Structure 1
């Protein structure tokens, strides 16, 4: 059975995911170019201002990125074993130090992320939240074609899961449910719908819920110009991190400008 057919059948078995199925049909039929809208422009812009993860952590959070790996070496090693044992391929992990120190900087109590996969970003967030008995709210679509529902967040150790609430829907269904449980957030990490319109919708929804002084992070901003356009429209000054050949956008809401999007 082809991947497309497997995915379609999996959607049919899950009525709560029907709204997302409808959106995907419309997108793939009428709006196929949107995922890469402005990609060349976005990459040129990101490359022109990108710096290292270590520099941004030092500049924004006045922290040393090296401490994270040494402090949690055992947990990270065990998480790596869990990833290797997972039979489902779900992509590479992102800039864990950047995410962790964003939570430390804000003394986060409520954090929101979209996109979980193995759960590496979730792990970084939870390692910080456990210190303050905080809560991570995650929106994550099941890996339908791979029958990978049970592996979402597989690298997160059991003792951290009491600080975690996982919503297994598309963002447009998950976020309203999450907003009923938490009215504001200290940190937001975006790593879900890669399309231009999907990003723009989520960015605006979540920005309104991010408290002043909160940290906004978006992975893979070179996929299209959504992040650049959002920062321009909202008059936001942002930093860009180059990490493993990709670009991550990060800013502190209502913070003194460091680098302006152009």
Structure 2
């Protein structure tokens, strides 16, 4: 059975995912929107200002990157072994230090992420929020073509899962459910729908829910110009991190001073 057919059959078995199935059918048959809108522009811009995650962590958070790997060496080694034994292939580990220190900087209680895969970013977040008895809210689609539902978040140790709420729908369904439960977030990490319009929808939706001083992180911003365009429209000053040949956007949401009536 082809991958496309396997995926379609898997969707049919899950009525909760019918809205996403409908969107995919429209996107692949009717819609002419390009998911890569502004890609060349975005990569040129990102490359022109990109720095290392070590530099961003130092400049933005005034923290030293070296402690993370040494402090959690045992947990990270076990997670790496778990990934190697996993029978399906998902996304890589990413810039874990950037995510972890964003949570430490904000003393995060409530964190939102889109995209889980093996659960590397989830692990980095949970290692921080557990210190404050906080909660990570994650949105991720089941890996339908690979029959990999049970492997999402595979590297996350059992003792951390009590701080984790995982929503197994597309972002268009998961995010409204999560936003009804939580009034504001301290950190947001985006790593799901890579399309221009998917990103723009989520960016605007989540930005309103970030408290002043919260950290916004988006992976793979070179896929299209959504992140660059969003920052320009919102007049946001952002850092760009180059990591393993890709670009990550990160900024701290500014405090907006109250305007007192005269």
Does TM-score exceed 0.5, indicating one fold?
A: yes
Give 2:125's aligned residue.
125
Structure 1 residue ranges without an equivalent (≥5): 257-262
Give SS of 1:180's match.
Answer: helix
Classify 1:219/1:30 alpha carbon distance in 2 versus 1 (closer, same or farther; 3 Å): same
Secondary structure of the residue aligned to 1:94 is coil
CA positional deviation for 1:31: 3.2
What is the aligned-residue RMSD (CA, Å)?
Answer: 1.0
Matched, 1:96 2:96: yes
- Residues 166-185 of structure 1 deviation map (CA, whole Å, 9 limit, x = unaligned): 00000010011101111100
Q: TM-score by structure 2 length? A: 0.96
Asked if 1:105 is matched to 2:119, the reply is no
Aligned to 1:176: 176
Structure 1 residues 255 and 98: CA distance shift in structure 2, 3 A: farther
CA distance in 2, matches of 1:34, 1:93: 27
Hey, what's the Cα distance between the residues in 1 that align with 2:95 and 2:60? 15
C-alpha displacement at 1:91, in angstroms? 1.8
Q: Secondary structure at the match of 1:145?
A: coil
User: What does 1:51-200 align with in structure 2 at a 5 Å threshold?
Assistant: 51-200=51-200
Aligned position for 1:6: 6
Match of 1:29 in 2: 29
2 CA distance for matches of 1:30 and 1:197?
A: 15
Matched residue, 2:209: 209
Measured in 2, the distance between the counterparts of 1:48 and 1:12 equals 45
